[in-house]
Amino acid sequence: MPVTEYLERNARLYPDEVALVELNPEQKDTRRTTWKEYELVEPDRFQAYRREITWSVFNEKANRMANMLIGRGIRKGDKVAILMYNCLEWLPIYFGVLKAGAIAVPFNFRYDTEEILYCVELAEVDIILFGAEFIGRIEINAERLSKGRLLIFVGDNCPSFAESYHELVADCSSKAPGIELTEDDFGAIYFSSGTTGFPKAILHKHRSLTQAAEMEQKHHATGREDTFLCIPPLYHTGAKFHWMGSLVAGSRAVLLKGARPETILSAVSQEHCTIVWLLVPWAQDILDAMDRGDLRKEDYQLDQWRLMHIGAQPVPPSLIKRWKEYFPNHDYDTNYGLSESTGPGCVHLGMENIHKVGAIGVPGYRWECKIVDEAGKEVVQGSVGELCVKGPGVMTCYYNNPEATAEVLKDGWLFTGDMAMQDEDGFIFLVDRKKDVIVSGGENIYPVQIEDFLRKFDKVKDVAVIGLPDRRLGEKTAAIIEIKEGFSCTKEEIEEFSMGLPRYKRPKEIIFAEIPRNATGKIEKPKLRKIYGADNLVAKENQS
């Protein structure tokens, strides 16, 4: 069934219960709307602008959006782009697109003007909805973007080159549009991270969206009494489909703007959140703040918080060990996934398997996994190969890119590009990205293994290992290390600590610098390679 049926069910069964809350600590004054809004104030700790909507209002707003689109000529299979920060309007707009039978196309809010134009043309977008923060980026190419397309602005003071979302939907019917949907209809296009150039457009059917929602609810046993805290951007499959566990359960969720440690704990306390999905840097920041004494657990109401889970990147086991020292009663989980598999969960650790911290887990709900060599043959247990997944959440294709599709989709299996191994208990461990493997002197070196080891050093906040060109070895390992606030560290200290690694894995170059991460917490290794890679080394040689 299409995932929109869960929204309609919730509006029917729980019409007056709160579905979504928006908390924005940075926004104090906004226009008045028909949605309930007020300031939540706790003296000396937390101030946030707050809005909420019930399930019935959520559904009605999605219907108004759908009827507006249909009235403007949008039909099944047309594409509607969403370029907005997290807000209370985001999900009703997304579901309105789905209810109209159109394809929702969320955009990464970090896209620059050229990436926006590229993705609009690649996905053949018909309508673009954008927020106030993106006026400048849209205006630069407004003439090209508006050719054959409708530009809709979500916010106050609509620019002259766009139409106002609030005015367009105001007089539209709040009744269901009556568009028949099946799980075989196309529902969404998501974009790859674009780490090897411009992003690829990933096309999914409604079947994928429903699979992700039902899987999330099952994996984390999300119930009617749970409250999910969502911090990552909703354009990302991880954030949206973790939230969809709440959709299936018919429970409340909080959209929080801001990821400072005190902001997160205050939101958990104020809204009585029970499930929180964190990225590695945010969890690290919370622990560091507690280590320094800047945060104290006893200042917050956290007893109801039952589950902390992390995804979107490899999770250092040392981080979870520290987390359990502060929060011994928390369940912990991690999910592995990619946009091509409708986000997180095709491999799933499971809350009952904390003894296997470090593993990404076992095949998720309705998924199959295998690990293969370069010839596509399954490797023996314990050997490293490429992880492949198969299930109802696999993408249909890379839109308008049959060559790239053929490279990763083979006989229903999605070849992930991630190197992994399976232990004797059947748990899968992520070794590294296939393209990130360093070949030094004929040895395959997996950066994640070195990163996990170096993060155990008590002065290290974050670390990224990349390969740099080397005349003799082909490549050599370089560790870019970010030191914790208030600490100092020398290369000699890192070298001494690295003696615990096999000789061939020890970093040959140590660089102290900040680690760049994208909006979903992943280390931006292409950026590091550009800064410290071949071009940089050639420049140094020319100067010597």
* Domain interval for residue 454: 445-543
What's residue 445's pLDDT?
A: 80
SS (H, E, C) 140-205: HCHHHHCCCCEEEEECCCCCCCCEEHHHHHHCCCCCCCCCCCCCCCEEEEEECCCCCCCCCEEEEE
What's residue 317's pLDDT?
A: 81
- What would the mean pLDDT of 145-172 be, rounded to a whole number? 94
Lowest-confidence segment of 306-320, 332-346, 353-367 by average pLDDT: 306-320
Give the CA distances from residue 503 to residues 77, 233, 455, 496, 498, in Å, rounded to whole numbers and listed in that order. 56, 41, 18, 12, 9
Task: Report the C-alpha dihedral over residues 106, 110, 116, 120, rounded to 10 degrees.
Answer: -10
* 126 pLDDT higher than 50: yes
Percent of the chain with pLDDT over 90: 63
Lowest-confidence segment of 47-61, 135-149, 420-434, 461-475 by average pLDDT: 461-475
What's residue 542's pLDDT?
A: 36
- What would the mean pLDDT of 308-319 be, rounded to a whole number? 78
* 540 pLDDT higher than 70: no
* 38 pLDDT higher than 50: no
* 28 pLDDT higher than 60: no
Question: 136 falls in which pLDDT band (50, 70, 90)?
Answer: very high
297 domain-assigned = no
Q: Which residues pair with 190 in a beta bridge?
A: 202
Question: 314 falls in which pLDDT band (50, 70, 90)?
Answer: low
Of 230, 234, 267, the closest CA to residue 25 belongs to 267
* 480 pLDDT higher than 50: yes
Each residue's pLDDT tens digit, 197-239 = 578 999 999 999 999 999 999 999 999 999 999 998 899 888 8
Q: What is the spatial distance between Cα 57 and Cα 52, in angstroms, rounded to a whole number?
A: 10
Threshold 0.85, pTM exceeds: no
- What would the mean pLDDT of 265-286 be, rounded to a whole number? 91
432 domain-assigned = no
What's residue 45's pLDDT?
A: 53
Structural domains counted in the chain: 1
Q: How does DSSP classify residue 91?
A: H
What's residue 348's pLDDT?
A: 92
522 domain-assigned = yes
Of 140, 151, 177, the closest CA to residue 82 belongs to 151
What's the gap between Cα 102 and its chain centre? 23
CATH number at 523 reads 3.30.300.30
Of 315, 419, 405, 301, the closest CA to residue 358 belongs to 315
Question: 543 falls in which pLDDT band (50, 70, 90)?
Answer: very low
* 33 pLDDT higher than 60: no
What's residue 410's pLDDT?
A: 95
7 domain-assigned = no
* 371 pLDDT higher than 90: yes
What's residue 434's pLDDT?
A: 65
- What would the mean pLDDT of 135-162 be, rounded to a whole number? 93
Give the phi and the psi of residue 144 in degrees, each rounded to 5: -75, -40
475 domain-assigned = yes
535 domain-assigned = yes
Q: What is the spatial distance between Cα 158 and Cα 150, in angstroms, rounded to a whole number?
A: 14
Look up tokens 């490549």; give the residue: 475
Look up tokens 């004929």; give the residue: 442
Q: What is the spatial distance between Cα 521 and Cα 514, in angstroms, rounded to a whole number?
A: 14
Question: 39 falls in which pLDDT band (50, 70, 90)?
Answer: very low
426 domain-assigned = no
What's residue 474's pLDDT?
A: 67
497 domain-assigned = yes
Q: How does DSSP classify residue 116?
A: H
Each residue's pLDDT tens digit, 60-103 = 999 999 999 999 999 999 999 999 999 999 999 999 999 999 99
> What is the average pLDDT value for the chain, to the nearest integer?
88
Tell me the two tokens of residue 54: 């019930």
Residue 84: left if φ>0, alpha if ψ -120 to 50, beta else—which one? beta
